Structure 1
Amino acid sequence: MTTDNTPTETMEQSAGSLLKAAREQKQWSQKEVASQLNLRLSLIESMETDQYEASILPTFIRGYLRSYARLLKISEQQVLAAYERHHGNQAIEPRAMHSFSNRTEKEATESRFMLLTYLVGAILLGLLVLWWWQTHWLTDDTNTAVSERLSAPLEMVTAVEPETTPTSVTEPQILPEQPELITPIAEPAVLSEPSSSAPAQDQEALPADAAIPDSQQLTMRFADDCWIDVVDADGSRVAFGTKRAGYQLQVQGRPPFTVTLGNPSVVEITLDAEPVDMSGFRSGRVAKFSVPLQD
């Protein structure tokens, strides 16, 4: 009768019962086993009572049971079979739930990352559109301001000139100008004659025996853009405005000419084919002088 009941009792024993019986047979304490396996004492107690922490995965539990059985020199397969018999169904469920939780968390993280990416892209696109809009309108405002600034000197000069009877002025002979990006300000055909004091001063500066010719040709060649204002001895403005690089200007008038240049270093001047020395004028500085030059 004893022979028939022994296999049944052995097969029905749990993994913890097998390990505990083998340990007590060797007269080892749980603390000695924990020290030899480098495991916590609470884990040894959990294995012998078959009460495992929920945070421990079944894979690790099997490894602990295998190490414990190997230390006690009992059958590892018998201990694992007893564990599967009592905890097989419970071991599968936590593992599946853990995998599903990880996948759900990963998908949520990816969704947040994609949302953040779209948000950053939308902000960058909005900044690009704003930059283009500001650049476009600022360019138009700058061109308008430049045109108003160039026209201001003409309006100021016209405002201070005395009202006198206009005299006929010989039309300047101007070569056809090349197309320009900035349209030069239209030159007035007839301007008011200034007071007679300015011509008198210019005439007094000339030598007493010098003969003042009736009319001479003034030629100006521009190596770069330059603003000019040219008035002859009669006080008539024969040239005015901004001239582009490569432009050649020819005017007729009675010398001496009063010339104002925004950048004299880029202008070559000849009076009746005689070159005018421009080396004495500094680059980038406004210069006002008479042609022919006076000592």
Structure 2
Amino acid sequence: MMSKNLSEEPLQQPVPEKSSPGEILRRTRKERGLSVEDVIAELGVTKATLSALESDDFDRLPSPLFVKGYAKTYCALLGLADQDLLESLEQSMSEQGIHQREPAIKFPPAPNKIGHFFKNALPLAALTILVVIILLLVIQAADKIKLPFFDNDKPLLDSAKSAVLSMKPAMASVMDQEFDGLDVKADKQDILQTLILDVAQQSWVEVFDATGDLLIADLQPSGTQLEISGEAPFKVSLGYAQGVQIRYGGKVVPVLNIGTDNTAVVNVGLDANLEN
């Protein structure tokens, strides 16, 4: 019986040890030609934190939430797919008894409703008492001193009524003036006209109305439609006249006298010759 040749027996290959997340990051960094300083500048971490991350030293790292955030950003910097590495990282932390802890939320203490009531009610009560005292002093003074709006020969209430009645004509006059002002505003609103500008190509637009008010002055982008209300006639200045169409009273206003620089000034609302 021939002895078996030992050299013909299959050699036992060592099982490659699975690399840890930190080792993968460190090895890939060196393969990419990045220094520790390069990574620190990009991640915004300290050298000690980066060293702990690359050596899987979780005791020197912050909470797992931050660790996974650093690892995810590090993978993006190195061009690595992060899903498998993050799963391996979470498993490594779990094996060492490190788990993500939910952040503690501190709720403010319940408000003291009684204290809040007194805090708001006491100043109001003090103010009310002060007003009552002042009124009593005024009434007492009115009984002893002849005040302009009170007749000492009449009860205080009747005197107050007389004072109010005497003020009615003046109040009516003021109210009439206010209503007159409203009528003027309404009349002015009736004479306002609307100017429509369709900006097909970007152009500077500047519009004055008959009162000299500047209604708009701005660079308008292509595709803009402007509705401008004011008192006619309008003075319209265009930076790129060929790119803007003017409509007034439902009709197109021709833009004439366009300069060599494509600018134009158009007076709208002066019985101009309108295009249908």
RCO higher in 1 or 2 (8 Å CA, sep ≥ 6)? 1
Which of structures 1 and 2 has the bigger CA Rg?
A: 1
**Is TM (by shorter chain) over 0.5?**
no
- Compute the TM-score of the two structures, normalised by the length of structure 2: 0.38
